[in-house]
Structure 1
Amino acid sequence: MEGFEGLVVNSPTQHKSGARDLFSILTGFVVSAVVIGVVVPRFLPSMPFLGKKSKQRGVPVEVGGEEGYAIRNAQASELIESPHRDATTVAALFEQTCNKHSQNRFLGTRKFIGREFVKAGDGSKLEKLHLGDYEWQTYGQAFVRACNFASGLIKLGHEVDTRAAIFGDTRAEWFIAFQGCFRQNITVVTIYSSLGEDALIHSLNETEVSTLICDSKQLTKMTSISSSLNTIKNVIYFEDEGISDANECGSYSNWTVTSFSEVEKLGQKNPAHPRLPSKNDIAAIMYTSGSTGLPKGVVITHGNVVASTAAITIVLPRLYSTDVYIAYLPLAHVFELVAESVVMAAGCQIGYGSALTLTDTSSKIKKGTKGDVSVLKPTLMATVPAIIDRIRDAVHNKVEEKGGIAKNLFNIGFKRRLAAVEGSWFGAWGLERMFWDNIVFKNIRQVFGGRIRYSICSGAPLSTDSQRFINICMGAPVGQAYGITETFAAVTVSEKDDTTVGRVGPPLQSCYIKLVSWKDGGYLTSDKPMPRGEIVVGGPSVTAGYFKNQEKTDEVYKVDEKGMRWFYTGDIGRFHPDGCLEIIDRKKDIVKLQHGEYISLGKIEAALISSNYVEKIMAFADPYHSYCIALVVPLRQELEKWAQEAGINYNDFSELCGKNEAVSEVQQSLYKVAKAEKLDKYEIPRKIYLAPDPWTPESGLVTAALKIRREQIKSKFKSEIEKLYA
């Protein structure tokens, strides 16, 4: 990975005398820094071992509904429902923020310079983009655009009591369209841009969408399924420079096809009086890429959105109008949507990018062109464990390649900083921390622009190694978040002064969390020393249910005798003594083996994913057998590197995955990781199958959020599973 060549600045690795001099200076510096850190009182307040372990973050609370063990945030005796009294809807919050920060930067998009296609080794063509600096709109300009778009929708003929859907990648116009719809109290249906045709047709027909807003590149897909869509009348597309327009689309259907900018111009010439929503009106129907069957539409009210926004804002470090957030995750996913709502409410700047152009070495970045973060230099970032894991592995691989003094300095610096983060008296603080940051970690931080001061991570468990990597190499706290679409994301976020790992923090101030005993799984609220059970969430952020699916709604949503709405997550958690939650299992992932042992497939997968050879993994257990197996998508680069070093001959990657030597190598790696993670013997997969092709949303084997779809994978690999158990 490029960008780490200066990992150790001007280190005299070529001369032994230089190395000795450097280590002498380093030793003296370290000793001095430690002495100063102990002697000088001003360094002591910053040390994590002073009082942090005793801080109470969540406290028990009496609640209604099913019997269980409930916790609230220790900082608030009452649940908050909005950022302030007058911001009870998304429309009101957006308007107030835009008025307050009207002259400040808000939405940034990189200037498109050009694109080219290069031939890959397998003969396919790869798109490469040449992008320039960010071009900005102010809050005031964004508000005017949203109002114009709303008026344009009405003039275009959109009926105010029907729904509009957004089916496109994350970009400024997505957010403007989203906010614009609320100026006319139009419910927005959000759909992943990677959703398959069957799920797309189901989502649009079920919600009876009359206006579809999509990327220009999606128009071909839309026209191919037009005969299956029953209610769409208008199609509005986001223009993209270098991509032809949609003039030909109209010949395939009875739709009115219009560009986004044309709708804005139409609204500017024909302003419509706003028709603003109320707190209980439906803001969005968000289709989740469910792990089984067709996606479900979660009904989200304006009250849900502002409650989550307010609660998350409180737990983050103080946000400023000078803060810059990098937006690249799917806006159709609740995690990105709530993140952008939070930074918008604080008056921050949002710079848009994509996962394919994020860094200087991203797959769509033309050689010589900077990635999004290098140009934007963000201070705030939302991320998912997979991205952190890849960056961490790339850094460690680069350090191993350099070897010598560079490797020694990195390891020493990492250990010193780790000791400090974990509360050791002998950790690197004060002047010594400055030394390590500038000599060792500065260049690593440039991977994300060099200015990240806070990141939030969600979507899957974050490993201890990855969390410490962010803390030390990026020099920033990382908030582990737990949330789901059905609670509009907000359940917990670990607090910025909490340096523990493996936990997701206390309840946010917009909800209570209750654990309910699950006797069949052996998880009880009476368990000592920590109560355990199914996680149930109650409060104003809990959504209204599933669209046109009352049976499923009644199954997992309950209203107690006090009128509070609760959602049963299906996740298993336990509360630590300080009130923080730890996710330990999932009800659907529990399987009872032949001899009576219960195993958690999710637990096994979370442990084994840290193997250097694993890209994706699905554990499987047949209750008629005494052991489990695993299907593994190997990291191609790592497995091919091993094969080259081991002298293994093969014609293609599929052949390599089928070789006994490769299977044995990956299985040994899984065994070592399993032992390190303290898995029991029956939890370690006895046999594995290496799947050479990646699991993608397009293949239907993972969701748009890249979570595995068990039933689909089991169906596709039915014969392989049978052979492993033969």
Structure 2
Amino acid sequence: MHFPEWLRSLRSSTGLKGSESEDLWSLLPSLPLSSSFSLLPSSVLGLGALASITAYWLVTRPRPMRPPCDLKAQSVAVNGDPSCRRSAILKDDTLLEFYYDDTRTAYDMFQRGLMISGSGPCLGFRKPGQPYEWISYAEVAEQAQVLGSGLLAKGCQPNPEQFVGIYAQNRPEWIISELACYTYSMAVVPLYDTLGLEAMVHILNLAEISVVICDREEKAASLLENKENGTTPKLSCLVLFNDFSQAFVERAKSCEVEVLKLEQLMVSWGGGRSHLNVPPQPQDLAVVCFTSGTTGTVSMFCYGARVGFYQGDISLLMDDIKTLKPTFFPVVPRLLNRIYDKVSKRITPLLNYAVKRKQAELSSGVVRNNSLWDKLVFNKIQESLGGNLRFALTASAPISPAVLSFLRATLGCLIFEGYGQTECTAGCTFSMPGDCSTGHVGAPLPCAMVKVVDIPEMNYYAKNGAGEICIRGPSVFRGYLRDPEKTAEALDRDSWLHSGDVGQWLPNGTLRIIDRKKHIFKLAQGEYIAPEKIENVYMRCVPVLQVFVHGDSLQSYLIGIVVPDPEVFVDWAKDRGFVGSYEELCQNPDVKKAVLEDMNAVGREARLNSFEQVKDLYLHPEMFSVANGLLTPTLKSRRADIRRHFQEQISSMYSKKAY
């Protein structure tokens, strides 16, 4: 590249490296020029100032962080088998079971927080339009002990065979109820709306639950109806956070169910009857997690130092985040994509330049949010998430490498990507501090061994470093509650958990998720289809917010249900000559054709086979959500429910023509 003399002077006077000079040169087209196409004096001054800022940024850059291991070898082969690996952080093949000697259970974790924080804030909440109020660790511990004593007074037994249901939205009382159970070695069974009536009855009977703690009368009424119908005979007590009617009390009394307010249970039954704590042992059952459409699984919950709850209105979530100023932010990729989309609409040459400079820092191991670029360019982006982030974790679905790299630069914090499932206590791999590369979910955590095993029908073989992901270690669950057959399907005789996901080991010892085994099906011509892999490709399309890929063994091609992104769809269509409201555009066959072409183009870029490309689609103007029963609480597609919901559209698409 040819550099003019004045830029060479800037380079020598500021100490800019070649890459910085090139990026400065790339800014020239955005600067005002004179009629002779030379830079105006104001532009020269501006570019000089920018060069000086860049030089200052280079001089003041802190030392890079030291990764906990060699980033080129983040995992180690176990017993010489490269398909089975453990964390390079470990000294040998002995897995980490606990980090602190005094912390072995969920009860211990809270007690450690209590010891360290004491009267410090633990749980925060607020009413709409009001500031946050905080309950201290000491207050939470006292309330948990009193509530637990109240549960014992109502007949609950202080042992892990006693199951207590909690059917409520996330709020401080939920955590206090959970801790009350742990304080007396009882096991918690979380319940939620999307389980459905049949699953709820199954859970209450399987766990023989007699006491359920609810947030409001409507939820308690749905449980009471099951008792009235004779389908949940063990249910005998409902404890509510909120007020309830006397009519509901009388109705419950008629079928021998006692209804109590949470405060009433604590004051009248727990107060003055405080029992000595009965802490659980590490081998004791702590919590039974039931996921939508499955039987229950056992895992443990973890806590942060201070937890704030949102107001209950999802539209006010970002306002709550700004107010709470979180230091740790667990987030699904969909939200990060939306942040990226909003910022990318206003990308300028200066923003691009600043991003490149921050990405250069990241590649050398420097992570900070106090550079001049942060103060001058990225401040508003960081403030939208409270301005106090130290690290974030994204999981549950793949995230675009471009989005991840961009947000690591603009948010000025560590952003980790992880992988796991409920059956292995959420996580089994985690990206390493100091590793700014993308396209993988990190190396095994110190508590887990991870291996890949052959899937011949999908042409994946462990000898090639690819196959079904299997996990073993202290974080893996014991099995499905009272269901040995289901347990045997998930856990083999050597205690390896078979995930149903397909992974590939990369040369640096990290794992890449490349496919899905559990939902594969065959088309009529015998080709295997992994729909989630295809959906993840199509999610890269600008107009696509959500997508469901469908096919079956009686059909020779795939079809799709697509929810366009309401924030970009109208403008995207307008750029292509289509005008109308969001709903009108969804009904326009020419718009549908344009979306399909865009999806297929992205599919070709991702090297999808022709039979993996959808041949027709239906544009749906309403998002899949937990509320409408099309997503699980962890925001995964409820595939059977989506299929049923759109059966009419699916049948219509298949009846049109064959491809």
TM-score normalised by length of structure 2: 0.85
**Amino acid in structure 1 at the alignment position of 2:141:** F
Counterpart selection for 1:385 from 313, 333, 338: 333
The answer on 1:87 being equivalent to 2:16 is no
For residues 430 and 94 of structure 1, what CA distance do their matches in structure 2 show? Answer: 30
Contact 2:69 2:88 in 1 (8 A): no
Residues 259-270 of structure 1 mapped to structure 2, 5 A cutoff: 259-265=261-267, 266-270=269-273
For residues 685 and 632 of structure 1, what CA distance do their matches in structure 2 show? Answer: 11
Aligned to 1:179: 179
**Amino acid in structure 2 at the alignment position of 1:674:** G
Residue deviations 1:359-405 (CA, integer Å, cap 9, x gap): xxxx257xxxx8112211111111111111122222223x16xxxxx
| Partner SS, residue 466 of structure 1 | helix
For residues 222 and 655 of structure 1, what CA distance do their matches in structure 2 show? Answer: 41
Flag structure 1 segments of 5+ consecutive residues without an equivalent: 1-14, 113-129, 306-336, 358-362, 401-406
| Partner SS, residue 371 of structure 2 | helix
Shift in CA distance, 208/412, structure 1 to aligned 2, threshold 3 Å: same
Residues 109-258 of structure 1 mapped to structure 2, 5 A cutoff: 109-110=125-126, 112=127, 130-160=128-158, 161-216=161-216, 218-227=219-228, 228-239=231-242, 244-253=243-252, 254-258=256-260
Aligned to 2:386: 449
Contact 2:448 2:475 in 1 (8 A): yes
Aligned to 2:5: none
| Partner SS, residue 132 of structure 2 | strand
Shift in CA distance, 272/532, structure 1 to aligned 2, threshold 3 Å: same
The answer on 1:609 being equivalent to 2:539 is yes
For residues 565 and 112 of structure 2, what CA distance do their matches in structure 1 show? Answer: 48
| Partner SS, residue 501 of structure 2 | strand
For residues 176 and 26 of structure 1, what CA distance do their matches in structure 2 show? Answer: 57
For residues 23 and 430 of structure 1, what CA distance do their matches in structure 2 show? Answer: 29
Counterpart selection for 1:638 from 543, 550, 568: 568
Q: Offset at 1:550?
A: 1.3
Shift in CA distance, 21/375, structure 1 to aligned 2, threshold 3 Å: farther
Aligned to 1:323: none
Contact 1:534 1:572 in 2 (8 A): yes
Counterpart selection for 1:71 from 75, 80, 85: 85
For residues 600 and 474 of structure 2, what CA distance do their matches in structure 1 show? Answer: 45
Aligned to 1:517: 454
| Partner SS, residue 271 of structure 2 | helix
For residues 546 and 375 of structure 2, what CA distance do their matches in structure 1 show? Answer: 36
| Partner SS, residue 85 of structure 2 | strand
| Partner SS, residue 558 of structure 1 | coil
Shift in CA distance, 30/595, structure 1 to aligned 2, threshold 3 Å: farther
| Partner SS, residue 209 of structure 1 | coil
Q: Offset at 1:430?
A: 9.6
For residues 238 and 613 of structure 1, what CA distance do their matches in structure 2 show? Answer: 42
Q: Which one scores higher on RCO, CA 8 angstroms, separation ≥ 6? A: 1
| Partner SS, residue 694 of structure 1 | coil
Aligned to 1:684: 613
Q: Offset at 1:417?
A: 2.9
For residues 42 and 215 of structure 2, what CA distance do their matches in structure 1 show? Answer: 55
Counterpart selection for 1:46 from 51, 64, 73: 64
| Partner SS, residue 382 of structure 1 | strand
Contact 2:85 2:449 in 1 (8 A): yes
| Partner SS, residue 188 of structure 1 | strand
Please identify, of 582-591 and 89-98, the stretch whose mean Cα deviation from structure 2 is larger. Answer: 89-98
Q: Offset at 1:26?
A: 4.7
Shift in CA distance, 452/26, structure 1 to aligned 2, threshold 3 Å: farther
Please identify, of 491-500 and 668-677, the stretch whose mean Cα deviation from structure 2 is larger. Answer: 668-677
Q: Offset at 1:678?
A: 3.9
Shift in CA distance, 179/624, structure 1 to aligned 2, threshold 3 Å: same
Aligned to 2:432: 495
Contact 2:367 2:414 in 1 (8 A): no
Residue deviations 1:334-362 (CA, integer Å, cap 9, x gap): xxx43xx2x2xxxx2222225735xxxxx
Flag structure 2 segments of 5+ consecutive residues without an equivalent: 1-30, 34-38
For residues 51 and 171 of structure 1, what CA distance do their matches in structure 2 show? Answer: 36
| Partner SS, residue 280 of structure 1 | coil
Aligned to 1:278: 281
For residues 182 and 549 of structure 1, what CA distance do their matches in structure 2 show? Answer: 24
**Amino acid in structure 1 at the alignment position of 2:309:** Y
For residues 233 and 100 of structure 2, what CA distance do their matches in structure 1 show? Answer: 41
Please identify, of 189-198 and 71-80, the stretch whose mean Cα deviation from structure 2 is larger. Answer: 189-198
Aligned to 1:326: none
Q: Offset at 1:495?
A: 1.4
Residues 314-393 of structure 1 mapped to structure 2, 5 A cutoff: 337-338=301-302, 341=303, 343=304, 348-353=305-310, 356-357=313-314, 363-364=315-316, 371-393=319-341
Contact 1:492 1:507 in 2 (8 A): yes
| Partner SS, residue 202 of structure 1 | helix
Q: How many residues align?
A: 610
Q: Offset at 1:540?
A: 0.7
Aligned to 1:396: 344
| Partner SS, residue 544 of structure 1 | coil
Shift in CA distance, 575/430, structure 1 to aligned 2, threshold 3 Å: closer
Contact 1:223 1:249 in 2 (8 A): no
Q: Offset at 1:218?
A: 2.6
Residue deviations 1:302-348 (CA, integer Å, cap 9, x gap): xxx3xxxxxxxxxxxxxxxxxxxxxxxxxxxxxxx43xx2x2xxxx2
Residue deviations 1:136-185 (CA, integer Å, cap 9, x gap): 22222211111111111112333445310111111122111111101211
For residues 150 and 331 of structure 2, what CA distance do their matches in structure 1 show? Answer: 35
Contact 2:72 2:509 in 1 (8 A): no
Q: Offset at 1:608?
A: 0.9
Q: Offset at 1:212?
A: 0.5
Counterpart selection for 1:413 from 329, 354, 377: 354
| Partner SS, residue 545 of structure 1 | coil
For residues 582 and 694 of structure 1, what CA distance do their matches in structure 2 show? Answer: 29
Residue deviations 1:578-635 (CA, integer Å, cap 9, x gap): 2211111111233444556544311110111122322221112344555422111222
Shift in CA distance, 596/30, structure 1 to aligned 2, threshold 3 Å: farther
For residues 111 and 381 of structure 2, what CA distance do their matches in structure 1 show? Answer: 39
Two-structure CA RMSD over aligned residues (Å): 3.2
Shift in CA distance, 80/207, structure 1 to aligned 2, threshold 3 Å: same
Residue deviations 1:641-680 (CA, integer Å, cap 9, x gap): 4556767576x86554232122112213313332443434
Counterpart selection for 1:661 from 590, 595, 599: 590
Please identify, of 372-381 and 155-164, the stretch whose mean Cα deviation from structure 2 is larger. Answer: 155-164
**Amino acid in structure 2 at the alignment position of 1:83:** Y
**Amino acid in structure 1 at the alignment position of 2:64:** S
Aligned to 1:534: 468
Aligned to 1:588: 518
Residue deviations 1:240-275 (CA, integer Å, cap 9, x gap): xxxx53443212223222222222223122112222
For residues 456 and 422 of structure 1, what CA distance do their matches in structure 2 show? Answer: 19
Aligned to 2:25: none
| Partner SS, residue 287 of structure 2 | strand
**Amino acid in structure 2 at the alignment position of 1:145:** Q
Shift in CA distance, 54/490, structure 1 to aligned 2, threshold 3 Å: closer
The percentage of aligned residue pairs carrying the same residue is 28
Contact 2:529 2:612 in 1 (8 A): yes
| Partner SS, residue 563 of structure 2 | strand
Shift in CA distance, 257/639, structure 1 to aligned 2, threshold 3 Å: same
Counterpart selection for 2:487 from 553, 557, 568: 553
Aligned to 2:10: none
TM-score normalised by length of structure 1: 0.77
For residues 391 and 332 of structure 2, what CA distance do their matches in structure 1 show? Answer: 14
**Amino acid in structure 2 at the alignment position of 1:417:** K
